[in-house]
A and B are shown apart, each in its own frame.
Chain A
Amino acid sequence: MTRTDIETEILRIFREGFEIDQPNPDDHLRDKHQFDSIDAIELLVAIEKYLGSELTQAEKKLAMEIRTLRQIFDYVEALAKKRQLFSEG
């Protein structure tokens, strides 16, 4: 899985799951798109599915600091690296 794969998948989840189309990577998700804690929890479930493994409670708590799409890309990339799923492409 490459950075491009991750970005494509997260954008798909935002488009299909959250009806947020083509967000700017640096948009403040809550302020600009009303992305709230409920959405964050649902996003974590989608990320678990994408990675094919559960997130630990500590990993989930880290996600609560996320404010932008770019931070989500970074977060998923770090999780993928930890699980040895990531390749530089």
Chain B
Amino acid sequence: MHRRVVITAASAITPIGHGRQDILHSLTHGKSGVKPLRDDELLTRYIHSRVFGTVDYPVLYDFKRLYRKTMGPVAYYACQVAKEVMEMAGLDNDFVVSGRLGVAFGSTHGSPTVQRSIYKSFFSGDRSEYTAIGAVDYLKSMVHTTAVNITKMFGITGRVISSSTACTTSSQSIGYGYESVKFGLQDAMLCGGADEYDTTTVAVFDNLLACSTAFNDTPQLTPRPFDVNRDGLVVGEGAGAVMLEEYEFAKKRGAPIMAEVIGFACNNNGGDLILPNLNGIMQTIRLGLADASIPADAVDLISAHATATKMGDVIEAQAIHGVYGDRPHVTALKSYMGHTMASCGVIETILLIYMIAEGLIAPTLNLDEVDERCAMIRHVRNPIAERIRIAAVQNFAFGGVNTSLLIKKFE
């Protein structure tokens, strides 16, 4: 059984805004969400990279204590975008609790903020530190905290998938949600990812010399995907959620359809856990196209993973050129907000959906001079008004995990 899968609702909290209007405003005005790294009174004094993709506006939460009591910061993000998507989708409550709606939602490692407070007891002989570990600290901090706080909030009883594959977390959420609906295991899936403000992630990349450090005084000028002066990634925070539904089901209930998911692939490089791998990435892209049953030249726009590391961008440009040639437009959306880790795949998918709907392509920010090793693909350097029919979202993660999602304008 192969069924069509459509997106009927989407919402994101990002460093460039919360919700469609804010995000589109930032995209069309070239506004960056990269800000100075805020102090955590712990690691920031040692970190060389002083920039962070920051959600610096208030998000108004209205969760009852019944729900709040098991939520850490990452679950607040997740539940907020899930709530907005649930309201937007307007699914009948009987369906929500029927077992035919599932959740695929993840984060990089649950809530580091809560984990840090637990770890304090490890380094203190004081009993008061031990008793300060809350009864619910595990529920707040565990890796699947986002997914199950969402199921609790809405009484969702279907399958739960909680990927935690760093930068491919939420592209896997969408991909596995798509497969669950496509193959008839569920009729709808609420999919996404979230990551809270966390400096341990910055420290890890900083120690690997993979973080941007040359633009600490001008945060909006980094990251610089594909640019000759790029000097590494910028970590960020945020969340995104989409509702996937089986097409006939969505049509029957009169749901507004935003786009269609037509293909997904995920593979592993089968070796090194850090280095980008040309063959692995090209294979993922090809598998995605095969799943969608479309030729490479059917793709009009690619959202590149493009974290702005020296090597990653070159390998990705080679992979794109190797499969697609120089026909599709390529944009690097992390240039607006840095790398939002577990949420980057879903946020980039949502931005693509908005751009497809508006008929515009936002350019890669800070791409002043294209690195000649990345110059063989068709970079978007200025806003373009163009009808996009099919777009691809590429993401690659530590651990050698690669994903490719194919999104089609709904017609």
Contacts and interface: CB of A to CB of B under 8 A. Distances in A.
B65 A38 contact: no
Contact of A18 (B65, B131, B134, B135): B65
Interface string B64-100: 1110011000000000000000000000000000000
B134 A42 contact: yes
B136 interface: yes
Nearest to B132: A45
B68 to A, nearest CB: 9
Interface residues of B, number: 10
B135 A19 contact: no
A18 B131 CA distance: 19
Interface in A10-66: 18-19, 34, 38-39, 41-42, 45
Interface string B42-61: 00000000000000000000
A41 B139 CA distance: 14
Tell me whether chain B's interface is mostly helix, strand or loop, or mixed: loop
Nearest to A40: B135
A41 B66 CA distance: 14
Most chain A beta carbons < 10 A, residue from B66, B70, B136? B66
Contacts of A18: 65
Contact of A38 (B64, B131, B135): B135
A45 B131 contact: yes
A41 B64 contact: no
Contacts of B136: 38, 42
Nearest to B64: A19
Contacts of B131: 45
Nearest to A17: B65
B70 A19 contact: no
Contacts of B135: 38, 41-42, 45
Interface of A: 18-19, 34, 38-39, 41-42, 45
